[in-house]
Amino acid sequence: MPQNNRDYLTIKSTGTAVIALLGMLASLLTACGGPPWNNPNPQYDDDLITYQSIMSPLPPKHLDPATSYASDESLFIQQIYEPPMDYHFLKRPYELIPLALESFPQLTFLDAEGNEVAEEDESVAFTRYTLRVREDERYQPHPAFALDAAGEPLYLFDSAAEGEKYQQIPDFPETGSRAVHANDFVYAIKRLADPDIASPMLGFMAHYIVGMEEFSEELGKVPRDGWLDLDDYSMAGLQVLDERTFTITIKNRYPQFMYWLAMTFFAPIAPEVDRFYHNPGFAERNLTLDWWPVGAGPFMVVKNDPNSEIVLERNPNFRPDFYPTEGAPGDLEAGLLDDAGKRIPFVDRAVYRLEKEVMPLWTKFLQGFYDRSGESHGNTNRVYDQAFVVGPDGLEMSGELKDHGITMSPDVKPAIYYYGFNMRDPVVGGYTEDKRKLRQALQIAFNTEEYLNIFYNGNGLPANNPVPPGIPGFLEGEAGINPYVYDWVDGEPVRKSLDYARQLLAEAGYPNGRDARTGEPLKIFIDVQSQAISNTQMNWMDRIFDKLGVQVEYRPADWNRTREKLLTGNTQIYSHGWLADYPDPENFLFLLYGPESPLLCNCDGANNSNYASEEFDQAFRKIRLLPPGPERDEQVALAVEQYRRDAVWLFAYNPKDVYLNNSWVHNNKRHGVSKGTLKYTRVDPDLRARKQVEWNQPVTWPLYAGAGVLIALILPGVIAYRRRQKATARAAGES
Amino acid sequence: MLAYIIRRLLYAIPILIGVNLLTFTLFFVVNSPDDMAASQLGAKYVTPEAIENWKRKNGYDKPLFVNDDASGIASLTDTIFYTKSLKLFAFDFGRSESGRDITSDVSTRMWPSLAVALPSFAIGIWVNICVALMVVMFRGTALDRWAVFVFVSLMSISYLFYIIGGQYLVAKQWMLVPISGFDPDFKPWKFLLLPVLVSVISGVGSGARWYRTLFLEEAGQDYVRTARAKGASEISILFKHILPNAMIPILTGIVVLIPSLFMGSLLIESFFGIPGLGSYMLDAIRSQDFAIVRTMVFIGSILYIIGLILTDISYTWADPRVRLN
């Protein structure tokens, strides 16, 4: 029957097609060349040493040093820009060193009339910083510096149509460069004050830099049409002395200003670069300083696709720079000084690929396609779950990690997360002895160690002190414990007993957790940020406060609503955190400084507890002005003691991240403050290539098994179909 | 037909304005311009001046709907609603809160979305129809009952399980393809194999079951019996008679989706690191970027309306009796 034959052929050919399809798939995969087939990284045809890394979970929003203020953005711009100062890569406590400057800034103290006075003189009204730029500091190659034969900028257009063929910076055929000038630093500070740029630093820095506020107001009134040359306007606190020297004058004394000079807000911006990016039509193609930064640092952006990857390459104009020859104790033994004195950077290219989910990130790291497990976010909890197992001797690295020779870089951040009491709250706030006792009882009951072990795998340090480890003012051992919460027993801090907490609670007027006057149970209200807390954490807190008979009610809200409550003081206990801008106790103790209360300053103040202690504030004011030394340490200790005695925060801890490094990555010491450490990273690309092949041999049997299963599914169908087609209306033998 | 299409397009305008108004109102009920400024500026040193500067720079310093300070038509045009939302009708999408040009981003991200969505869609439909027809061929047998059981089981499994399971087995354990990523310049197909496979397999259960139901209804019709009586083979009956007659409900379900393929898939793109419009939308929601959200909702609405019009047109192709009046 011709019809049936055709059908048979159709089915047969379908089966053959399936097999052919699978064969094609196999050959397609084989066409990838040798293993690894699963390599997700682009292959480059050159011999440049590439560092394969991650941006996670989101790409940076801003790469303009005037607006960027997030650690995942610092990961890029600190490799590209060189601010005046930096931190020593290895030394701890953190130590400032000149970066774009020839030497440390020179300080001059002035009185109200502008006369020079001694540092300790009470009449000091201004501090002038004189900064001298390095002679060998040069910008990366960039079309903004390209000049025509007449010495005029090559790429300045009158209309959008003229420049529309340039979609990205690498599309410009001509580039140029020049030395960094003192005026570029001045120009960058003026940009901070430009209301059109909306720098987050404007409000804060305007309190310090002379004339910044007025300058900002003046610019706000200037009508804009394209680029505004900020060199046409002057700021009283900025002065260019010569091509390489400039001064910044700030109000009063503010020693911490030196730390601000290590932030990219103060990195130089060439006016011609700013002008270049104001070409008509550029912003519509995302050709902006926010996406294509231009600096004099060791690396430059050559590809910026925030949707998938950002690629940096070595800046060919980068000045000679060398790996440090000194480090902290233990660095030599850890091999961190093996490259001492060698020219940096070691890598030629750094590729940061966007990873939003942890599983692909972790898998690629284990397969050897990423050099480290993370950069600015350790994803510690999730990584920890997969990276460590409980062995006979406690926690140990999983076998998979041991076999791969992976090393670990723990990173205790100069940060603090805390739950604070609102000191103006009628129930838990106040400064009377009974209120202190109430808060201390709650502090004792909140077992921070247990909390960190359960919810963060122990990755955090209970904070006895607002000042975190690594920062002057932090004390170890018995001297470092909070004596209101801990006892020092056998060389270890031991949390005071719950019985003692109950006693304090009773003395505060709440025997067994009930108000002695009304008999009502004590109920506390905790404002939590809904994304930052889980039901399990809330259940745990219910349980621990229940031991004192205290009831808890949670008021979850998003960050904006929480912020509103903090600004209006409409909270009882709130959660908050602080990541240091600079490694100085002042940057943490100001979280408790009276005038920083949002209710007093009518601003977004940092003292969300509305803590008001004259003793603390006095000590803080001295800390702000004193240079590092014993006298300052004494004031820090005084302030900390006051904070402990008043029991201002319910609990606090310093977060700890764990970063893992593949065996071919060297110089892995984490720097808690600076992210500009890519130049110190060294990778062994040959070892990486060998390991990638070794660890990624494709398993092909599932392909054949899949083909087998498909045939097994189709074949009975074919047979049954054929049988049915051949069947007669009557069964065989039926007459 | 042209008059019909024009009429439908005109109907779309009030629908789009309504969607726009609703999105705008809902967004600003939960998120004021001050909130947006605070979110974008970060958690440190957010002074009232910084918030005002941000609002001025990004055009959120105007009233929402009516500007009492302006006169005439300017009282309606010098508002956030006009400048931010109504301008979308001129396809002026403006800038995201982080300063990027949205039109440029959308046109770039559309292609990776299509690269995943188109093959997933086409292969998915082909596989679902073939599987459903095969099952219909054996209707009433044990094979049919088992197939329904398998379909229901596949439907019951979470989409996330397919994604994570696929990544775990194919990419992590077997190391056949990259676990995630996308590179248009570097063998993009090898990044697409797994997401397409996952999309197809995860859709087989519900898709094939639905088509089976449609085909079964047709299989009982008189014309099928007639064809069989005339000696037509089962294959011929299925593909030449049943399938064309079941096209109307099939087209209703799938044509409307075709324009939306541009929008990508939120989960697939996020887990497989595909830089498409699905992950663009997801990131915008996470970072409270209203400019992107309103643009994506607007584009989504337009594509949906286009999908509905295309569906109507496709009826005339599938069934010559249908006339668009």
Helix/strand/coil (H, E, C) string of A277-327? Answer: HCCCCCHHHCCCCCCCCCCCCCEEEEEEECCCEEEEEECCCCCCEECCCCC
Tell me: pLDDT of A2 over 50. Answer: no
Residue A731's pLDDT band (boundaries 50, 70, 90)?
low
Same domain, A445 and A572: yes
Same domain, A360 and A495: no
Q: Is the preceding omega at residue A345 within 30 degrees of 0, hence cis?
A: yes
Residue B282's pLDDT band (boundaries 50, 70, 90)?
confident
Tell me: pLDDT of B187 over 80. Answer: no
State pTM to two decimals: 0.86
The residue from A285, A314, A333 where one domain ends is A285
Output the CA–CA distances (angstroms, integers) from residue A126 to A97, A106, A213, A444, in the order listed: 24, 14, 16, 46
Residue A734's pLDDT is: 52
pLDDT tens digits, A368-384: 999 998 887 655 556 66
H-state helical runs in A194-265: 202-205, 212-220, 257-260
Residue A552: φ, ψ to 5°: -125, 140
Same domain, A688 and A708: no
Query: Which of A198, A353, A560 faces B181 most closely, judged by CB atoms?
Result: A353
Question: In this structure, what DSSP letter does residue A133 have?
Answer: B
- A290 falls within a domain: no
Q: How close does chain A come to B132, measured CA to CA in Å?
A: 13
Mean pLDDT value across residues A274-303: 95
CB contact under 8 A, A703 and B48: no
Same domain, A644 and A722: no
Which of residues 484 through 523 in chain A touch B, CB cutoff 8 A?
none
Count CB neighbours of A695 within 10 A.
Answer: 17
Residue at A201: amino acid letter:
M
Q: How close does chain A come to B134, measured CA to CA in Å?
A: 8
Closest CA to A237 of A186, A165, A273, A164: A186
pLDDT tens digits, A73-132: 999 999 999 999 999 999 988 999 999 999 999 999 999 999 999 988 889 999 999 999
- A302 falls within a domain: no
Same domain, A264 and A373: no
Tell me: pLDDT of A9 over 50. Answer: no
Judge whether A162 and A138 are in contact, CB under 8 Å: no
Same domain, A406 and A419: no
CB contact under 8 A, B100 and A363: no
CB contact under 8 A, A367 and B175: yes
Residue A677's pLDDT is: 95
Same domain, A552 and A440: yes
Nearest CA in chain A to B94: A284
Structural domain that includes position A13: 3-32+699-734
Token pair for A283: 């912003």
User: Do the bridges between strand A551-557 and strand A523-529 make them parallel or antiparallel, or are there none, so unpaired?
Assistant: parallel
Mutate to test the interface with A, among B106, B183, B230 (most CBs of A within 10 A): B183
First to last CA, chain A: 23
H-state helical runs in A534-629: 535-546, 559-568, 586-589, 598-601, 614-625
Same domain, A593 and A450: yes
Tell me: pLDDT of A534 over 90. Answer: no
Percent of chain B exceeding pLDDT 70 equals: 98
Residue A10's pLDDT is: 47
Tell me: pLDDT of A176 over 90. Answer: yes
- A77 falls within a domain: no
CB contact under 8 A, B175 and A62: no
Nearest CA in chain A to B134: A717
- A208 falls within a domain: yes
Tell me: pLDDT of A417 over 50. Answer: yes
Residue A96 contacts B, CB cutoff 8 Å: no
> Is the ipTM reported for this complex over the cut 0.90?
no
Same domain, A552 and A607: yes
Q: How close does chain A come to B109, measured CA to CA in Å?
A: 8
Question: In this structure, what DSSP letter does residue A138 have?
Answer: B
Q: What domains does chain B contain, in order, with CATH numbers?
A: 2-90 (no CATH), 102-318 (1.10.3720.10)
CATH number at residue A111: 3.90.76.10
CA separation for the pair A585, A511 (Å, rounded): 38
Of the CA atoms within 13 Å of residue A233, those in its CB half-sphere come to: 22
B16: alpha, beta or left, given left = phi > 0 and alpha = psi -120 to 50? alpha
Residue A8 contacts B, CB cutoff 8 Å: no
Same domain, A483 and A529: yes
CB contact under 8 A, A7 and B235: yes
- In chain A, which residues have their Cβ closer than 8 Å to the Cβ of B182? 308
Residue at A618: amino acid letter:
Q
CB contact under 8 A, A559 and B273: no
Residue A25's pLDDT band (boundaries 50, 70, 90)?
low
- A295 falls within a domain: no
pLDDT tens digits, A180-222: 999 999 999 999 999 988 888 888 899 999 999 999 999 999 9
Mutate to test the interface with A, among B47, B196, B237, B282 (most CBs of A within 10 A): B47
Domain count, chain A: 4
Nearest CA in chain A to B175: A698
Q: How close does chain A come to B21, measured CA to CA in Å?
A: 23
CB pairs under 8 A between A and B: 190
Same domain, A365 and A471: no
Mutate to test the interface with A, among B139, B176, B177 (most CBs of A within 10 A): B176
- In chain B, which residues have their Cβ closer than 8 Å to the Cβ of A559? 38-39, 43
CB contact under 8 A, A29 and B137: no
Residue A417: φ, ψ to 5°: -110, 140
- A392 falls within a domain: yes
CA separation for the pair A536, A533 (Å, rounded): 8
CA separation for the pair B300, A240 (Å, rounded): 54
pLDDT tens digits, B15-29: 888 888 888 888 777
Nearest CA in chain A to B96: A61
Residue A601 contacts B, CB cutoff 8 Å: no
Nearest CA in chain B to A10: B235
- A306 falls within a domain: no
Q: Which residues contact A47 (CB under 8 A, 6 or more apart)?
A: none
When the pLDDT of each residue in chain A is averaged and rounded to a whole number, the result is 89
Residue A352's pLDDT is: 94
Same domain, A113 and A17: no
CATH number at residue A449: 3.10.105.10
CB contact under 8 A, B175 and A699: yes
Token pair for A466: 């607002």
- In chain B, which residues have their Cβ closer than 8 Å to the Cβ of A191? none
- A72 falls within a domain: no
